[in-house]
Structures are given as C-alpha cells and as structure tokens.
Amino acid sequence: MRVKIESSDRIGISQEILSIFSSKAWNLKSIEVETNFTFVHIDNSNILMADIKKSLDRVSGVITCKEVDQMPSELRENHLHTLLNRISDPMIDIDRKGIILASNFAANSLLKKSGATLVNHNISKYIDVPVKHFLAVSEISVSINFLQQPFIADVNPVISSNKTTGAVISLKSMNKVGRQLALMQSSTNDALKSIIGQSEKIRLVIAQVKRFSELDLPVLISGDTGTGKELIARALHQLSARKQSPFLTINCAALPEQLLESELFGYESGAFTGASKGGKPGLFELAQGGTVFLDEIAEMSNYLQAKLLRFLQDYKYRKVGGTKEFTANVKIVSASHQNFPKLIDQHKFREDLYYRLNVLRLELPALKERYEDIEILVEHFALNAAAQVNHTAPSFSEEAIKILKAFHWPGNIRQLENVIFRLIALNDGEIVSSVHVKNVLFDTKDEQQKPSYVEEGVKDWASAQADFEYRLLKDLHPLYPTTRKLAERLKVSHNKIAMKLRAYDIK
C-alpha cells in the first residue's frame, strides 16, 4: 500500500509519523519526503486505510491522508522509461565495468526474444570493441558492431567526483546516419523539377532519367563541366525505389588515394596512425539501401579502380585494415567529363571497370547545344539571383538575350548561372541591356570569357581561315537555323552556306 500524507510544514512532523508506524509494527518498504507531503510504502496487505487515518489523527498538522498508485520516484521512473521507449534509437546505460544498468525497448528488441532484456548483462558480450572505449572523459562517437549489427555509438560519459563511473550509449544504425549525412549534402528535394529546359536534347535526358531510375543498374553520366551531372544523379535516386534511403556523393578528384579509399570502404580500428578508435564506416556502408554518386571517377587511381571493380562484381568489400567481408546494397552512379576511350587507350582507366560502370549511359548536352533553353534558364536564374540580393528581377532586352544565346559558354550552365547573378547584382535598373551583358561576358580582366578566333600556334592561313569559318557557322547556325536565313545574314549564296555546313558537319 502506498500512502500520501499532506501536512503542515513544521519541524519533526515526518519523524512523528514514522514513530506511529513503528509503534504499530507496520513494515515500511520506502519513504519519500517533500515539502508538505510524506509518502510511505507499507508492505502489509492486511492494513486498512481507515486504521492509518485513525493512527495519524493524534499527529498535529496532518491535513489529509489517502492511498496513491505510485510513489513519486516510481512515477518519475515510469515517465522516464516511457520517454526512453519512445526513442527509436537503442539506448543503454552502463557502469564502469560494463554492466548494463538500464536499456530502452529499442535496445532490448535487438535480442529478438520476446520479453528479453539487456539489463544486468555485461555489454562486452554484445560488442566487438573493448568496454574501455566507452569510458572516455568527454562525449565520443565509435563505430561498433552490436549483436553483429553495425552501429555508430554516441557515448556520453557519466562523471562522478571527476571520475568516469559509466556511460550512456545511443546506437544509431548506419542507414540512419547515412540519411542524416545525405540530408546535409542535399541541395534540392525535387531534382527532376530543377532540370530546366524544353529543347529536344534535354527532354530526351529527362525521359532517360525516368526510365533508368526504374532499373537497379549502374549508370554512367558523361558531359562537360557545369552541365549538371550531380543534379541528374540525384534525380535518378529520387525517382527510384531507393528514394527513402541515403544518397551520398564524393568527388574522386578531390581526395588523395589513401583518403578516398577509407572514405569509400571505411577502416577498422588501428588501421593506420591517427585512425579513430572503433574505426569508421565508409560511404558504401552508410548508403546501405541507397545510392552512391562517384563524381569525376576518371580521376581515380589504378589501385582504387581495381578495388572498385572487385566491389562491383558482387558488392562485397573489406574495410581498410580489416579481414571481415561486408556486403553493400547500393546503386552506383558515376560521372566524368573526360573521354573514356582515350583514357583506356592511354592505360589510365581500366577497360573492364568502364564496362562495369557503363551499363546505362546518360550523355548531357553542353549548353551551346541547347541554345533554345538559354532564355528559360536566364529567367529562372534571374529570379533566384534577385531573391538572394533582395532586388526586383529585371527583364532582359532582346539584344541581351541574343548575345547570351550566341555565346559559346565553355563553363555551361554553371557559368551561365554565375553570369546572371553578376548581372542582377550589378544592375539597379529594370532592364538588362546588351551593354550590361557585354561588360560582364567580355570583361577584359576575364580572358577565359573573352571571345577569340585566333589562337597561338596557328599552322597556316588556310587552317586559320577554316577554324574561323567553323566557329562562325557553329555560333550563328543556332540563331539562323536554315541555310536560307544564314545565307541572308552573311550575304552569301545559299549553295555556299549549304556546302560549308556539310564540310564542317554542322547540323
């Protein structure tokens, strides 16, 4: 029986209450005292509530006395257990010897036995790292296997008298960590809608993305720098059955060989000097069930190419410094702007790996090949830029659009976006004119964007003339798509234009 006694706040009243219980030889299991309240737990089912009230009548200051279901500590403990059991991550509390003092429902369910509990067992039975790794003096994260399942353990030490007396451990599944990492990397929630354009080539790309997303096969994306390869890869993932799992990216050109290997495959504890205790998971492990995007894969070393090829055969791998074999359920999407046949001929890229990656292929057109989309892209980027600089988006004059369409755009969409941002940021008027565009595009300080038809090392007059004709026709043909219109623009015969277009294979 649990009893709640309300009384006045006077010194010694709790002692008087206990003296009466003692004189009655009532067995008290516990007692808790709060201001104006005394709670007692009596271990005797034969005692009546009326007897307790009658016994307390002689105590001055007692106001009420009633039976309750729980003691305050029991109530707090039940609330805490309810809270912990609502947490989806397994939570474990251990002492300094590794004995599990408490565990939530998610942790106990790892045992896969109804009603089973981890409490009072030593955590060393279930993990593959020493318990001492959990007894740090500050918060740490450790990669572990708990009951042979991979987790990231977030460890918070319990400190008493400046000593670590235990730890509270939160286990996060690799899939959950991967989703959180993907969320941090994500730039858009609907990549397909971000593919802007109405040209025939971009419509073909979108159609291929939709078809390829349904196939769980490797995809190789090729295209010049700035054509949006990562956006296409993200769209492939978001339209696939793997969309609820992580989408993780890595630039193979940005990391040295050893670091790239550990980022992809992970490493075991002590694999090399400076390695984290407990090791580290790689992208293939974190992206379990999802997609890994390998950008600039042509920059990968021959050693890693061989290791990636081995992985693609059965999707099994070993961590750096480890002997255990893991299996990754991931889709591989890779990309590069380089010429693979040329690299293969130069023995810089493995032919067998190329065929493994090139099961499905997406060719992204350069911006100069889809000039019809430039006006739509200009409008889109102008609205975005205006919002960023808190300006009203200006309109572009017809001549300004014509110049933008005629430009060769070596940096493709990325360059166009940057140019439009500069135009909006520097323009205070309502219209962006051709003068504004020329000032930004042909800035004398930016030699990369300055048009040039004559290059150093020209062999002779004929080759220079042919190069000039090709560039001229290549730039003007999209603006004057028929031989008649182009002939009128250049004031030459229709037959001459037709002959030159055939000679330079301009369509």
Residuewise pLDDT in 10s, the chain (507 residues): 888 988 888 888 888 888 888 888 888 888 888 888 889 888 866 788 888 888 888 888 888 889 888 899 888 888 888 888 888 889 999 999 999 998 998 999 898 888 889 999 999 999 888 888 888 888 888 888 888 888 888 899 998 888 889 999 999 888 788 777 767 666 567 888 889 989 999 999 999 999 999 999 999 999 998 899 999 999 999 999 999 899 999 999 988 898 899 999 988 877 776 666 667 888 999 999 999 999 999 999 999 999 999 999 999 999 888 888 889 999 999 999 999 999 999 999 999 999 999 999 999 999 988 888 999 999 999 999 998 888 888 899 999 998 898 888 988 999 999 999 999 988 888 899 989 998 888 764 444 444 443 444 456 787 778 878 888 888 888 777 788 888 888 888 888 888 888 888 887
CA pair distance 374, 495, nearest whole angstrom: 30
Range 129-160 burial, b when 16+ CB lie within 10 A, else e? bebebbbeeeebbbbbebeeebbbbbbbbbee
What does residue 154 show for φ and ψ, rounded to 5 degrees? -90, 115
Range 347-359 burial, b when 16+ CB lie within 10 A, else e? eebbeebbebbee
Please give the radius of gyration of the chain, using alpha carbons only, rounded to the nearest integer.
36
Instruction: Domain ranges for the chain, please list them.
Output: 2-74, 87-173, 186-363, 367-441, 461-503
CA pair distance 492, 479, nearest whole angstrom: 17
Fold designation for 2-74: Alpha-Beta Plaits (3.30.70)
Sequence-ordered list of residues with C-beta below 8 angstroms from that of 428, at least 6 positions apart, any chain: none
CB 403 within 8 A of CB 439: no
CA pair distance 168, 443, nearest whole angstrom: 60
Task: Check residue 137 and give its pLDDT.
Answer: 84
Task: Check residue 430 and give its pLDDT.
Answer: 87
Task: Check residue 498 and give its pLDDT.
Answer: 85
Residue with tokens 């572990």: 144
Which pair of structure tokens corresponds to residue 365?
Answer: 């057109």
CB 337 within 8 A of CB 225: yes
DSSP letter (8 states) at residue 110: G
The single-letter code of the amino acid at 413 is I
The single-letter code of the amino acid at 230 is E
> Is 186-363 the same fold as 2-74?
no
Residue with tokens 């001929």: 345
Q: Which CATH number, 3.40.50.450, 3.20.20.70, 3.40.50.1820, 1.10.8.60, labels domain 367-441? A: 1.10.8.60
Range 178-212 burial, b when 16+ CB lie within 10 A, else e? bbebbeeeeeeeebbeebebebeebeebeebbeeb
CB 278 within 8 A of CB 218: no
Angle of helix 412-426 versus helix 434-441 axis, rounded to 10: 120
What does residue 202 show for φ and ψ, rounded to 5 degrees? -75, -30
Task: Check residue 469 and give its pLDDT.
Answer: 85
Q: Which CATH number, 3.40.50.300, 3.40.50.150, 3.40.720.10, 3.30.70.1520, labels domain 186-363? A: 3.40.50.300
What does residue 43 show for φ and ψ, rounded to 5 degrees? -95, 75
Task: Check residue 452 and give its pLDDT.
Answer: 43
CB 101 within 8 A of CB 94: yes
Fold designation for 87-173: Beta-Lactamase (3.30.450)
Residue with tokens 């104006």: 36
CB atoms within 10 A of CB 378: 22
Which pair of structure tokens corresponds to residue 226?
Answer: 């700035």
CA pair distance 100, 106, nearest whole angstrom: 14
The strand ranges marked E within 296-354 are: 316-318, 325-327, 331-336
CB 267 within 8 A of CB 322: yes
DSSP states of 178-246: HHHHHHHH---S-TGGG----SHHHHHHHHHHHHHTTS-S-EEEE--TTS-HHHHHHHHHHTSTTTTS-
Nearest residue to 289 (alpha-carbon basis) of 119, 451, 175: 175
Secondary structure class of 62 (helix, strand, coil): strand
What does residue 442 show for φ and ψ, rounded to 5 degrees? -110, 35
Question: Within 13 Å and on the Cβ side, how many CA atoms surround 408?
Answer: 14
